[in-house]
Structure 1
Amino acid sequence: MDMLRERFGADLLRLEKLLHERYGMNAAAFDANGARVTTFVNWGNSLCPVIKDNPASASAICAVANGHFMRQARETGLPVSGECDAGLCKFCVPVKVNGDFLGVVGGCGRLPASGEVDTLCIASANGLSGEKIGILAQDCRPITDDELAEAVALARDQVSRMTSGAA
């Protein structure tokens, strides 16, 4: 059985809800194979569910970013933050027990403070018009570097608490 889901599923669900409530992010935990750990559906904006619901844009934007960020977190053992190809902030924190990488938890879906949605990338992957993307992106709230750092620190601290003493 998947240790991440079995041992930490309830804790990760609480953390996802906290990240969503506090920072308005799409929060999620993924196991080491990239599968979602919980079924908590949460959106920080109107654009992300449209990207995620389309298999072409989900694989071209979301899956690529998830894979890249997860790989970095696995290799470094450190939190990773940056932007997805749609131009939205993303971060993840590795979940490790006894040096074993179990997965990541993090959030995405907010705009960098000085950033903008990459309409061309989304239109290319999804087929939506620039006008439709602009309408959907209107509620993509900016996040400051300090807020992003707070979200990362919160996730890192919660992961540390939940995994301390786990064997």
Structure 2
Amino acid sequence: MDAQRDEWSDRRQIHDVVLRYCRGIDRLDFTLVRSAYHPDAIDHHTGFDGSVDEYIAWVEPKLRARRGGTMHIVANHLVELLGDTAISETYGTSVHWGEPADDPRVNFTSGVRFVDHMARRDGRWAIAERWAVREWTRSDAGRLKPKEAAGPSGSRDADDPLLRLQRKLRGTEAGS
């Protein structure tokens, strides 16, 4: 039972690494993005190959300059455990939007696979090397429509509903 529990725990921790990366990119939380990688990790993205520090230095200004956002949607996730290393393959969709709304370089959706060499070091699973494989891309230029009514909206700052809830439940709201 303990071996089964350890395997389940390893798979859950590896999946959490993938989700932390996606949340970090989408919320512009680059500390969270960095936490998904080991310090000496290598990343391969469309238009980029290099260390995790170089990757963050490359991607952060691109995402901060964009008036809009990204949403990474995780689908199939398969892990092959190999002791303290693992092969993790995650299928997903990456949606990008911004200004100008008719620019296909800013407004597009891609089918992606994250092919990750995961490693457990000092009890912590993280990415040792990542290949962000772009399987397809379609233009969404001119297709974004405004919300049909008032309601919660996401943001990439302290006003995002997630960050407000975290502050509230952790007791870090002003006056708590």
Greater per-residue helix proportion: 1
Query: TM-score over 0.5 for the alignment?
Result: no
Q: Which has the larger radius of gyration?
A: 2
Q: Shorter chain as normaliser: what TM range?
A: under 0.3
TM-score of the superposition, structure 2-length normalised?
0.26
Q: Which has the higher contact order (CA 8 A, sep 6+)?
A: 1
TM-score by length of 1: 0.27
Greater strand content: 2
